[in-house]
Amino acid sequence: MTPFAIVFPDLSPEIFSIPIGNFNFALRWYALAYITGFLAGWWIIQRLMQRPNLWPANTAPMEAAKVEGLLTYVIIGVILGGRLGFVLFYQPGYYLANPGEILRVWEGGMSFHGGFAGVIVAGLIFCQRHVVPPLQIADAMALVAPIGIGLGRVSNFINAELWGRPTLQPWGVIFPGANAQNCPWDWPVDYCARHPTQLYEAALEGLVLFVLLAFLVWRRGWLKRPGLITGVFVAGYGLARFTVEIWRQADAQFITPDNPMGHVISLGPLGLSMGQLLSLPMIAIGIGLLLWRRRA
């Protein structure tokens, strides 16, 4: 059986590389996604602060000049939270045995849920130090977050990482390194098409979520009720991530001969992946925040 599939294009994770002595300076797609996401977020939030009519009492929560300071806090929160989240949620045993590798973020290994927690902490510290309303700042950050998330997922695709489970669908992609060992069908050697779940996530967590939030901000005036945009983002991301995890290949450390699906919680023939388990609280918190602010 040789089903139709898309062969992964010959893409390099590096945009360019410059050798400098014994050091090789390289700009990677993943780094570019972070940089572009931060710059786009900074630009949009600045514009929001210059539109007082969008906010409660027609008053922006802070001056546009303070957005650069907020960006600094967010960058620190994303990097520290994302890395520590990956260490604690996905490979605690390995990093406990090799603590010197925890700070080696350039080798990969970031968790969205950890980065999300890091941004919350960093944002609260910023709001306390600059005396600005936390919920309104959270709404501004929630609006722009899908941009960085979507770009990050596209970078995951370019890097040929975090692919999905084997599939016979015609849009399945043959990723390099995704051999046929774990395929449930009679595939030819080294030929295993998989769901391009990175692109599923880029569409749902990035494009669709951003369009929805932008509509609610500019067409429905939801920034005038602090917390609503944050609630939609948190619940929307959690639901999108939970859904795509159905087709996403589980992390290798959770896959065993007795648990080939990599479920961290088994529910009979079904189960929950680590990504789904971490997304459930986000869905609950987002819905709770929406209900609370709608009644306020």
Binding residues: 153
Contact 263, 272 (CB under 8 A): yes
CA distance 166 to 185: 9
CA distance 65 to 42: 11
Instruction: Work out whether strand 265-267 and strand 270-272 pair parallel, antiparallel, or are unpaired.
Output: antiparallel
Number of residues that make up the chain: 296
Listing DSSP states for 245-278 in one string gives TTTBPPPGGG-BTTBTT--SEEETTEEE-HHHHH
Residue 134: CB partners within 8 Å, gap ≥ 6? 123, 124, 127
In the block, residue with structure tokens 């680590």: 274
SS3 170: coil
Instruction: Work out whether strand 23-28 and strand 173-174 pair parallel, antiparallel, or are unpaired.
Output: unpaired
Query: How big, in percent rounded to 5, are the helix, strand and coil portions of the chain?
Result: 60, 10, 30
CA distance 197 to 190: 20
